[in-house]
Amino acid sequence: MDDQQKRTIIVTGGSRGIGRGICLAFAGTDSYVYFNYGGAEEAARHTEEKIRAAGGKGRGIHADMASEEDLETFFKTVLDDTGRVDVLVNNAGITKDALLPRMKTGDWDRVMDVNLKGAFLCTKLASRPMMRRKSGRIINIASIAAVAGNPGQANYAAAKAGLIGLTKTTALELAPRNITANAIAPGYIETDMTRRIDENRASEILARIPMGRVGTPEDVAGVAVFLASKAADYITGQVIHVNGGLYT
């Protein structure tokens, strides 16, 4: 495929976990994959290597999801390189868990800034070139916690629930410009984040999953690729649950 026809894919939080899985799923001769990362420099370089090994072109750029200035610079770099944004995957997310009575205000604010405000800023920045081209796909990575709640994660669950609301409003506003916006709500997925869960708690969750296994980043990435494909042209404003039956 000619370089002028390559799609530009942006994945936030792409250095590891679900973000890395999504980057690799989009890697190929028909796409440029850009991703941002917070502090995991070594992991980001590893993701770049894996993208190249898959036959694609990828670049990781350091940018704080809570910094409007960082994100503006990130998007400017992408647009200077390729002149377009075809797909935005808002994946970046952090946790700062505590039971609600003990949760620090700063921890609430930081999770909101990264997980929700960051997605808003990226959606705003991506929508402009998409609107000019009258084409684009926005995919937000929400969570089962957004719809089912999770003890100790009031901040995370609230941010992810807000992301679903952002998805639905974005879908309504941008549909006339042929831009779709959908959300994916993963359940218990094997990542660095879930590996920190207490072993007994992890066993309890696994016992409640009808499919009898935890999910993988590839399970989520496959849905993202579908939502960015021609086959999903008429799907917008939806939340697709990827949880093995844990929540229905």
Q: Identify whether 156 is a catalytic site residue.
A: yes
| Edge-to-edge order in the sheet of strand 31-37 | 57-62, 31-37, 7-11, 87-90, 136-141, 179-186, 239-242
Tokens 């994660």, residue?
153
Tokens 């935005």, residue?
88
Catalytic pick among 156, 188, 234, 247 = 156
Q: Give CA–CA dist 22/2, Å, rounded.
A: 23
Contact partners, residue 150, CB within 8 Å, separation at least 6: 144, 156, 157
Tokens 């709500």, residue?
185
The residues assigned a catalytic role are 156
